[in-house]
Amino acid sequence: MRILGIDPGYGITGFGLIEADRGICRLLRCGAITTPPNTDFSWRLGEIYNNMTELMLLAKPDAVAIEELFFGNNVTTGIKVAQARGVILLAVQQANVPVFEYKPMQVKQSVVGYGNASKHQVMDMTKRILHLSAVPKPDDAADAVAIALCHARSSTSLLALAGK
């Protein structure tokens, strides 16, 4: 199964494509869709959408795992991230690929085994699980890879299989 993990953002959207087969995961590709600051926001959304559409064609994922929004103190930023997330979901829906959403705590629990793990712990375990020589860069890409790993582990769990 090819899983595309997405860490949504409007400045940087991280992505990580893994292949999961019988509990073994392999990183195929990761990176980021970036838009320059101080440019028209609607243009930035268009760039995210266009790049995401192209990524869906190139990656050919069987599933997309995306992080749910976490609203911290800055509601304005959260709203802009939500808009970026919307164009990402549109591109995925138009590619007819199923979407699975995970809370940050679920990703941490799945990858590290502890829902309150630090960002460093998640990155380190991602590197170990995939047998990488270094943590994927930028950080947004590493987060996206962790989200893909979360889905790989969740979708192959005995509880997930029991529902089928």
- Note if 139 is an active site residue: no
Element (H, E) at 64: strand 63-67
Phi, psi of 86 (to 5 degrees): -60, -45
Amino acid at 150: C
CA distance 137 to 96: 28
- Note if 67 is an active site residue: yes
- Note if 62 is an active site residue: no
**127 C-beta neighbours (distance < 10 Å), count:** 17
Catalytic residue among 21, 67, 101, 143: 67
Catalytic residue among 7, 47, 68, 139: 7
User: Which active-site residues does the annotation give?
Assistant: 7, 67, 140
